Structure 1
């Protein structure tokens, strides 16, 4: 049975009227009582219907953005696109960083709902069917970026991760590489899984053996994974699930006394600024993060303002392959 406002009042040791005043941000409620009520709401998992009604009528002028890792250079660009679009449309943006922790992610979602944000743009650390059902119960508009789930009822914005990754691996194969390893992102992240699947399919379809190592979307993971591989064998090329992993791998290669691209070619994904500044410069899949952010806000605000469609809108923005110095030879498609 779902908790009621009376359950919250009993749990917090206050009246129903006090709970209602807290939910509606009445300034006359003192901070100690306000915190007690918020704690009770979170502990019981209560979703106030008053908030749902205010959100449905789009009375809020604030949006929420929940990011998995603000230190990853990809996400500040995406956040800037979201912030610029929100400002242009007259909304204030609240940004929260989860450090890829599902518990922290859930806490921020609840806090944003309690603060009556009009809608949330979510880049989830873990997004499964149970999580989607929980989000639906909140009765608040969500837009999902980058990390998606099949059959989701929410609007989404992303590149075609499978197509982009398949293209990147195929380019390496066309340049004569047969020993290509993949440094993958976290297994529970959908974009990482799609990139890994595309790599495996491209290798299989060309009669080549797959070689996958799984880690986090970090520079440190790229270095450690690559260094452990080089302790055992030497691939001719690396396809990394993002640019931070690729840059870490390149440093590990150099520290082993090998050359990029002469000994090992490296390709990343995202086209963060550091990809253009590395030595050699990094070949990568360019993901239009700013455009993804702008599009996400436009979809979210439309939902907040009452746009109704029978199905979720899945917007796929175009990626671009950028060949730089970390790949051997001439681009076979130019």
Structure 2
């Protein structure tokens, strides 16, 4: 039996944080290689430049970039859409996704000490992006890099996986028996969305191109629809949730999706501006609807890292380009039909 004195002692908890070997802060140069653009335009406006290394403030850390993910929002912003209206200084550096090594922290006992391998999202365009050798990143937008992934693989995760997590887990509330239709299941966000939905027990239906159909089944889709030969509304019905990663940009995918959602079901419309009237159209059919914007949540990234390390989820990197070839990476991205992600290799591991 415990004595009163023993009962009054505070409980001691062992830290679950991985042990990290502390390293002396490495010398950081004053300037760095980056890819910038001076005004909106085609992929050809991207150019290599030598620019100052950014200075972290408040809770930001400075990360040496090993690899940077390339996302559709990068190309839209470069072209004058996306987040371009928030750019207040030129030249500007694109890139949200990063995987790299912490080289400067705001205080000694920081959760990510110097030398820690991390992955996460930069606050572009409030700060410079990840198409550069160094980037500042808010602490709350970072997590430790999955141990099982290379930096190139990890750089393909943050934006796409966090978007998929928000869509599937936090908005659709994926669960056993739920029927979820995911358009563009083979893309960056789509291939994570398929895996998350299947992991949480949903019956996943994914649309994709012929080359991706068997792969989508491997990722967890119970049904696949070849959008090049079959109208999905002819073979799919009574769906609880549609995650629309296409909109009405081509072939009225968004509008047609309303035909397969059960009354009271939900349409999640992801591409910004791809279907301005989706809320009214959904309401007229008794269907709930919402748009979605990615939340750069380091806590969610830590959970995703555990799923990646366990093998329950995987990332697919389609193409890898050197930083200097960012224009070619954007050209490839805008051709469409990329499987998974495109990544820039910025520096040595």
TM-score (norm 2): 0.35
Q: Which has the higher strand share?
A: 2
Q: Highest CA radius of gyration, 1 or 2?
A: 1
TM-score (norm 1): 0.36
